[in-house]
Amino acid sequence: MISLTALNTLRLPAYAESLVAVRQSSGLLAISESLGDRPRVILGGGSNLVLQGIADHPLDAVVLHNQLRGIVRLPEQDGLTRIRCAGGESWHAFVMWTLAQGLAGLENLALIPGTVGAAPIQNIGAYGVELADRIEAVHAWDFASRDHVMFARDDCRFGYRHSLFKEPEVQGPWNAPRFLVTAVDFSLWPAARSPVVTGYAGLSERLGQMGIQGRPQPLQIAHAVISLRREKLPDPEDLANAGSFFKNPVVPEGLASALKAQHPGLPVYSQADGMKLSAGWLIEAAGLKGVRKGGAGVYDRHALVLVNHGTASGHDLLGLARDIQQAVMSRFGVWLETEPQILPPLHAG
């Protein structure tokens, strides 16, 4: 039996019968053939994952650990540099590599934990930029056709923390995901003429505090983002967590204005499909910032992040998440959806 504790950033105790390292995309056919119909799950950096399996009930699936490596330059197009990065590369290391090459576009997404292959699945986003704004294509292994496939950006159905890779009718059941992301193609700008996105609350102020006047360099934006993230979010190496545990809820305009009238401090952002509320604010206002339930807790500097103080199981953490959902529901009439992938999912029993 394999322990998965070191492979998930919430450091939850969980086990699986076996683990297969995927090191070369050319090896995926042989892996598919040897797996046959056995249940499988795909693991990247384990930074957006709640594992429920305990020693008595290991995860009933072979864990495929995406360790595909490599970064290559593709031919330039329309003055943009195109880069293909393998799915098992560290996201943050890749962002810093692009900046060191003088390539810009990913600086607002610095210090997000996890792998490049996981990034398109939930369309990672931070400080005013989403992955969907910067990629060209996603390459994947298709376990159904046992072949390599490519999705152009516009075919990925990207939305807020969403893509087609999260849709059960496309990706299949939790223990038979259809696609494993092998690589992602990016279009990046030369640093001197990249779009500068500093409108997100706190970012331009931080650049000012760093003494940066005028147009900031992409690397300076990355450093400002890194310093903001370090201030607000716990480093999983110091305090186990999986980043935001809930999505910011998008609600109809009527409900948003009623809530805003009652609670003028509530941050509300206009979206194409409604009004986005700040889940962290709602949890804090419900009095839950910093609370602990056994080994599980709400981070005391950012209420959207749940942490494992050392002894929590997936069950404990999901119990706390449930308490939060119910408290926010009864106080504000808004249901918070969990953000990380839960394995096995709650409805799988």
Show which residues are catalytic: 161, 244, 339
DSSP, residue by residue, 183-234: EEEEEEEEGGGPPP---STTHHHHHHHTT--SSPPHHHHHHHHHHHHHHHS-
Nearest to 25 by CA among 154, 150, 173: 150
- Comparing CB distances to ligand EPU, the nearer of 150 and 201 is 201
Report the nearest approach of ligand EPU to the CB of residue 337 (Å): 10
Report the nearest approach of ligand EPU to the CB of residue 298 (Å): 8
The Cβ of residue 309 has, within 10 Å, a number of other Cβ atoms equal to 12
Interaction site with ligand EPU (CB under 6 A): 126-127, 200-201, 232-233, 243-244, 247-248, 267, 278, 280-281, 284, 289, 302-304, 339
Contact, 185 vs 137, CB < 8 A? yes
- Comparing CB distances to ligand EPU, the nearer of 22 and 222 is 222
Nearest to 140 by CA among 155, 161, 124: 155
Calculated CA dihedral for residues 319, 320, 325, 328, nearest 10 degrees: 150
The residue at minimum Cβ distance from ligand EPU is 243
Nearest to 286 by CA among 261, 304, 269: 304
- Contacts made by residues 30-39, CB under 8 angstroms, sequence distance 24+: 31/64, 32/141, 32/143, 32/146, 33/146, 35/62, 38/62, 39/175, 39/176
Report the nearest approach of ligand EPU to the CB of residue 160 (Å): 7
- Comparing CB distances to ligand EPU, the nearer of 52 and 244 is 244
Q: Is 343 exposed, middle or buried (0-12, 13-18, 19+ CB in 10 A)?
A: buried
- Comparing CB distances to ligand EPU, the nearer of 31 and 240 is 240
Contact, 119 vs 163, CB < 8 A? no
Report the nearest approach of ligand EPU to the CB of residue 240 (Å): 14
- Comparing CB distances to ligand EPU, the nearer of 142 and 284 is 284
Report the nearest approach of ligand EPU to the CB of residue 251 (Å): 14
